[in-house]
Amino acid sequence: MPDAQHLKDALRERFGEEVAVPADVPGLDRLAAVAARGTCRLYADRPVEADLVRLLCACALAAPSKSDLQQRDIVIVRDPALRRRIADLLPHMPWVGAAPAFVVVCLNANRLPRLAAMRGKPFPNDHLDLFFNAAGDAAIALGALVQAAETVGLGTCPISEIRNHAAIVCSLLGLPERVVPFAGLCLGWPAAPAPISPRLPLVLTLHEDRHGGEPLAERIEAYDRRREALRPYAAQRSPERWGRAEPYGWSEDKARQYADPHRADFGALVRAKGFRLD
């Protein structure tokens, strides 16, 4: 299939609408791969070479960084016993233990205060922005690592739920003060093509000049119907609490998901790691 058509088809499936592809755009094959990507949770029984993982991590750490502060690190988890201990924290995610390779992307605001002390300078930036900048750097590196891995044909699955057990993960990985796990990432050769996950319509998430004023309820209901037709949920979340909903769409699932507290202790962990969130 020509790259332009592949890109158009992927975007149509992703957003439920036509997205124009200007003529003579270079790199359409790469754009199509980005538009059509999917999360991979089933991996072939084939190792991912250590040198390849290290190469991909190096490419990820070449990604943009706020003010060149470089406040992110990646921990490659190779030790089988350590992998098992992390996987055991997430028994409902068997791909964490089954993936041929696993890394943890961390935000690191440890270096800057130490650099200030090394150079005899004050450090008046010990507040929320220090954490926010480091989290942004980690997010950029995670996205770059996903793209780098998928460029060479690997499948990926980000694991934000390691933050449900952030204190344990910090201990297992020996993370120092002001270094916090941002997300894990499973890496492996896909055992099957990863499906495209439909996204919210662009009218809700893509804006020009000004943000806001979108007809949320109407658009969400349409998105729920489209998503249910393409990728219905295999099971409803917490039916013993909320009963069964028909239809059961994305908005109902997410409302149920966030009807329970998530990582309410994460702020305390971040403060315990030396961050001030004023």
Write the pLDDT tens digit of every residue in 186-204: 999 999 999 999 999 999 9
Q: What letters, b where the CB count within 10 A reaches 16 and e where it falls short, cover 224-246? A: bebbbeeeeeeeebeeeeeeeee
Ranges of H-type helices in the chain: 3-15, 28-36, 50-60, 80-88, 95-98, 111-118, 128-151, 166-173, 202-205, 216-230, 239-242, 250-257, 266-272
Contact 96, 69 (CB under 8 A): no
Asked if pLDDT for residue 168 goes beyond 90, the answer is: yes
Amino acid letter at 266? F
Token code pair at residue 168? 């344990």
Which whole number is the average pLDDT over 63-67? 98
What integer pLDDT is reported at residue 143 of this predicted model? 98
In sequence order, the β-bridge partners of residue 101 are: 187
Residue among 16, 9, 8, 10 at smallest CA distance from 226:
16
How much is the pLDDT for 23? 81
Share of the chain above pLDDT 70, in %: 99
The angle subtended at Cα 38 by Cα 36 and Cα 42, nearest 5°, is 140
For the entire predicted model, the pTM comes to 0.95
Position 213 scores a pLDDT of 72
**59 band by pLDDT with thresholds 50, 70 and 90:** very high
Domains, the chain: 1-36 (no CATH), 50-194 (3.40.109.10), 198-265 (no CATH)
pLDDT at residue number 1? 56
